[in-house]
Amino acid sequence: MAETDDNFELIEQSNTMDLVPQWEPEAWWFFAGGSVLVAIVLLYLFLRKNRVAIDPEKERYEAYRDAKVALDAMEPESMHEIAGSVSLVLRRYLARRMNEPALYETHEEFVGRHEGLKDLPDGVRAEVGDFFGTLAAVKYAPDNVANLTGAALKQSGLNLLEKMHHG
């Protein structure tokens, strides 16, 4: 028989890990990561620098001015509506001026809180409590308060606002 050149040579088996492609970090990955980090730091510094400090006296005056404008612009409607509006304006003023949670409390919670309005003089504090009691009576039982008018409630609200602001 004639010999042929079809020899099959056995090759030694290679390691399978040599067949898995290897990841090698490229320089642009480091550049991109460093750029993102620098951008975050610069953004933080920029936002921190541009943060405006709030002047408490200016905030106090603006709260007073906004409340006065709102009360002046109020048109006497029904007693129920005017009492609710005056109450809301004064509560918003207290929330802005003194960080009072009065805007988010019921009348009973507001009156029952002993540490509330501690920055106001005692006479004004008592008057605020009494006036909010009157407003609650008008809001929830307007028939029981026959001697008040919407204009009188509005004027009383303005007077109390003046006392709270200057007191």
pLDDT tens, position by position, 26-56: 777 778 888 999 999 999 888 877 666 677 7
Into how many domains does the chain fold?
1
At 129 the pLDDT is 82
Enclosing domain of residue 78: 56-166
Instruction: Give the pLDDT confidence of 112-132 residue by residue, as tens digits.
Output: 776 667 777 778 888 888 888
Mean pLDDT of the chain: 79
Q: Residue 53 gets which letter from DSSP?
A: P
Is the Cα dihedral 107, 148, 146, 143 positive or negative?
negative
Q: Is residue 102 assigned to a domain?
A: yes
**2: pLDDT strictly greater than 70:** no
Beta-carbon contacts of residue 70 (< 8 Å; ≥ 6 apart): 89, 92
Q: Is residue 120 assigned to a domain?
A: yes
Q: What is the pTM of this model?
A: 0.63
Could you tell me if residue 41 is inside a domain? no
- pLDDT (0 to 100) of residue 79: 78
Domain membership of residue 98 (yes or no) is yes
